[in-house]
Amino acid sequence: MSTIAANCDVPVSVKCRIGVDDRDSYEELCEFVDKVISKSPTRHFIIHARKALLSGLSPAENRKIPPLKYEYYFALLRDFPEIKFTLNGGITNVSASMRQGAHGVMVGRAAYNNPWNMLGHVDGEIYGKQTRYISRRQILENYQAYGDSIIDQYGPSRPNVRQLVKPLLNLFHSEPGNSLWKRKADSALRHCKTVKTFLEETLDAISDSVLDKPVNREPSSDEEYFASVDSLLPPKYTTPMHERLVAAST
C-alpha cells in the first residue's frame, strides 16, 4: 500500500473481508487493520462483513453463504476512531446502517435489483439533502426525456434502447404487476427504437397506485439488527501501535 500511495496522487483505500477460512476472529481482523495503518498512509477501509471461504464455494456462493457479522464493522468504528470505515455486504437498508453511525455504505447488486427501496433516501441519509418524495411515474418521465435525448445526440454511435432502459427493469421490484412488466419489457426491447415507445408499450402492466406512490422508508430485517448491534460487539481491541496513533490524533 505504501508503494501504491507513493505512485498516485489520490488517497488509497483497502477493501477486504473480515477474515479468511479459519482466520476469522475479530482480533485477527484488527491485527490486519493495525498492520496496514502502521506501515502505510492508508486511512480508509471498505469492510465486506463476511469472511471468505477459499475452498468449496464459488464466488457467487461466497457472496451469500458466509454469515454477515456487522458487529465486527461497528467494533472497528469503536476501536479505530481515527480511521474511516465503509460498510459493505448484504446491505438492504442504507438508512438503518447510517443511523447506527456507519461512516459510509457501499451498495452493490442491491442498487440494481431493488433501486426504489435502496436508493430513495440516499440523498438525505448520505449527503444531507432533503429527500425528494417523487413517484416512479415522475422518474420515468424524466428518464424518458434523458434517454431519448441521448439517442438524438449520438446518432449512429448511440446506445441502443436495451442499454438505456436496463437501469429501469427492476424499478417495480416486489410490486404487483412486476412479472407482467418484465415480460412486456422483454417483448418491447426487440423492436422499440426510443425510450418513449418502450414505456408506452409496457407501463400498462403497472397500476396507477404503484406508479404514483411516492418513495417512503420501507422497514426491513436490517432495522432490528442494526438497532441492537451494540450488544453484539466483540471485546475491545488495543495494541501499542494503535494507542500511539490515537494519542497522536488527540
pLDDT in tens, 50-109: 999 998 899 999 999 999 999 999 999 999 999 999 999 988 878 778 878 899 999 888
Verify that 87 and 9 share a domain, yes or no. Answer: yes
0.85 exceeded by the pTM? no
Residues 45, 99 within the same domain: yes
Which set of grid coordinates corresponds to residue 199? 414505456
Grid coordinates 418521465 are at which residue? 141
Structural domain contains residue 106: yes
In a domain, residue 124? The reply is: no
The reply to whether 153 and 240 lie within a common domain is: no
Segments forming the whole domain that contains residue 141? 136-212
Based on the fold, state whether residues 94 and 174 are members of the same structural domain. no
3-class DSSP state of 50 = strand
> 61: domain CATH number?
3.20.20.70
125 domain residue, yes or no? no
The pLDDT assigned to 131 comes to: 73
Give the C-alpha separation, 91 to 74, whole Å: 14
Q: Are residues 233 and 208 in the same domain?
A: no
